Amino acid sequence: MPFNNRLLSSVDPIAARKAFVFTAVFLLLTGWHALKSDTQLGILVPTLLIYTLILINTYSSIRLFASIQPPHNLQQELIDFILGVLYLCMVLTMERPTLFSMSVSIMFVAASLKYAFLLRGVSYIRLLRHKIIVDAIGAVSAFAAFLLILFWHTAHALWLWAVIFALAQIDIFFLHPLYVPHKEQDERKAPLYSH
């Protein structure tokens, strides 16, 4: 069946496995890093909450978007590698809120670029635009948190960011579900891919 002419009635099993492995590895790294950390709980807990919510979104994102991404696309694979490095940076900077917030912001920018480049190759235009907007908002909010951390109280800024980020998940998963493909496809023609 042509790659971009099918609705995503079911997720590609390889994409689901990739999502599970990526998320599990980074959850384990996060747990290990948090257990050995001597950072104040007022800083570590909101940072862990933010990162855990990012990983929940990442699982859903990889599971869906790897199903529609053209196979063996070097540009997408390079961006995926960069994103993996940024996820590792986020884990390693959890104890340093300014670096953590900048890592998150850069990760969201890289993710926005990933999906912007993908616009040229698949027919899920509305879905990709929605994802790009959400990631751009994530980048701006992380940068705003960076500024608040620099110029306000670190723990208060992290908790405020964590609460706002957690509330945003209600919109992303329930009010305007991001990880569900739109029922009707866009009219734009894109190259056909098969898995």
DSSP calls for 110-162 = HHHHHHHHHTTT-S-HHHHHHHHHHHHHHHHHHHHHHHHHHHS-HHHHHHHHH
DSSP category for residue 172: I
pLDDT tens string, the chain, 195 residues long: the values are 233 334 445 678 889 999 999 999 999 999 999 999 888 999 999 999 999 999 999 999 999 998 888 888 899 999 999 999 999 999 999 999 999 999 999 999 999 999 999 998 788 899 999 999 999 999 999 999 999 999 999 999 999 999 999 999 999 999 999 998 754 444 444 443 334
- Which pair of tokens denotes residue 167? 């509330």
The reported pLDDT for the residue numbered 20 is 95
The single-letter code of the amino acid at 166 is: A
How confident is the model at residue 80, as a pLDDT?
Answer: 95
The whole-angstrom separation of Cα 98 and Cα 87 is 15
Cα separation, 133 vs 152, whole angstroms: 27
5 by DSSP, 3-state: which? coil
